[in-house]
Structure 1
Amino acid sequence: MDNSPVTMLSTIHQINGDENRIAKVCRRPRETSTNAIKYYGTQLAVQRTWMPLFFWLLDSAIINSYLILKKSNANVSYKEFRTKLVWDLIKAELEEEEQHIHTRSQVDELTNQFKFIQIDSFKKQQYVTVSFELSLVRLSPDGHLPKWRETRSSCIWGKYLAKKNQEKTSKNLSQSQLYCVKCNLVLCCNKKRSCFKDYHTQKENDN
């Protein structure tokens, strides 16, 4: 139904319709949280259905905390409040990491994990980027022993040669279950290729 006011001529009513009318003024609370959420919101375009709900709950928690703070007559803007909140969370995480004591075995384990930063040796698939450089550790004389592992992976030396355009294609790279104990890299060794020896003997300028 149409609830819009209708204007019509009448000889009964006066010109001023509020002349003999008593109106009760009702004070309504002003809603501020929904309006404030649209400023500095955390909503992102995502495909997962639960993430918009999570972001909405996060924004609601932040704005409600800010409104509680404003009741104490704190002279701080919403932007300043969010900025301080972010830095406090970062500071709390950094302080927690500083308090964590690493044992010697944990330090050695972390050092071994980040020894070859350009290759993740703990993944089944090891990647060689365009900016990849051969490690000088491979030329050291001791500790380079082959060891067998369950998973097969592409030879690192073959990938390196493919990146240097010394092989026509990298789709048919040799797969191997041998890896160097010291370098922790997959290297093949068969009747056609001897990448294990080449990787530990050839210098980068020789390729």
Structure 2
Amino acid sequence: MPERKPRADATRNREAVLAAADTLFARCESPEAVTMADIATAAGVGKATLFRGFGDRTGLIHALYALRLAPIRLAAEEGPPPLGPVTSPLERVPALVDAVLCFKIDNRHLALALEGTGGDSPYAAEHYEWWHSTLQAALEQIPGLADSGFTAHALLAATRADLVEHLVGQQRMTREQMRAHLTAFTARVLEARVPLD
């Protein structure tokens, strides 16, 4: 049986909801302040439409996050250097970590909302598993690196949304300062490639 295409109004509603949620999360003081009712009102749809289309607030946040992340995933999976898979791992690893950081800075409140949804571990989320496996695969190509799995986790920990919010939101660190610090940290990690006893 062929897969049914979504109705035009359902597609239109989904796009309106995602656009409204995107705007609200970008402008909010705190991600917790954005409610399903706010999103429904901004999108011009009923709350039932949101719950039908996304299940709950967490499902909506996951869908919006995946939509925002899609171009970066495509660049990392198929794109040219420095993100793409044909890049030297010593260039690709810093580029991947920088891409995560820039994404978190540009989508700070959305990332905070996603990492703060509670329930499931953020480390079990599909987007985290994808970042981790992509970074780990690049790290595994670097000779002498002791533990690519742990190293990938440690590098990603430096890009957690709550840390980014603390440094950018509270301490007023600029985007370029954050990137410079993370680039230097990543370089130190990659230089220390001697396995531990």
TM-score (norm 1): 0.23
Larger Rg: 1
Normalized against structure 2, the TM-score is what?
Answer: 0.24
Larger RCO (CA under 8 A, 6+ residues apart): 2
